């Protein structure tokens, strides 16, 4: 094997390792917030929205806008408040 072949093989190996590292790197999860504790006023807004007959999807959107929570967190919170009403 001449020097150019070894250089190409080494370059391909390095590129493959970089792709592997980029695809498998561990991403830190976003810390979850406790909406009930951090934003106590939101519970009353959610209860009022349910009482007014607002669509649940719109309530989840409102919770996300008020708190900056993710979709799953907001949905779980709205379900929790809805269960406490019934």
Specify the pLDDT at position 42.
96
pLDDT digits (tens, 9 = 90+) for 41-61: 999 999 999 999 999 999 999
Closest CA to 63 of 51, 53, 50: 50
Per the structure, the complete domain to which residue 17 belongs is given by 3-85
Specify the pLDDT at position 2.
84
Per-residue pLDDT of the chain (86 residues; tens, 9 = 90+): 788 899 999 999 999 999 998 888 777 776 778 999 999 999 999 999 999 999 999 999 999 999 999 999 999 999 999 999 97
Specify the pLDDT at position 35.
92
Domain count, the chain: 1
Tell me the H-state helices in the chain: 3-24, 35-38, 40-51, 56-67, 71-85
Specify the pLDDT at position 15.
96
């Amino acid at each position: 094997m001449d020097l150019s072949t070894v250089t190409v093989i080494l370059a391909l190996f390095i590129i493959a390792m970089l792709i592997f590292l980029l695809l498998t790197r561990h991403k830190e999860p976003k810390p979850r917030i406790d909406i009930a504790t951090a934003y106590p006023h939101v519970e009353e807004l959610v209860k009022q929205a349910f009482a007014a007959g607002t669509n649940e999807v719109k309530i989840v959107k409102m919770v996300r806008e008020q708190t900056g929570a993710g979709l799953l967190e907001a949905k779980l919170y709205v379900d929790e408040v809805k269960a406490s009403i019934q």
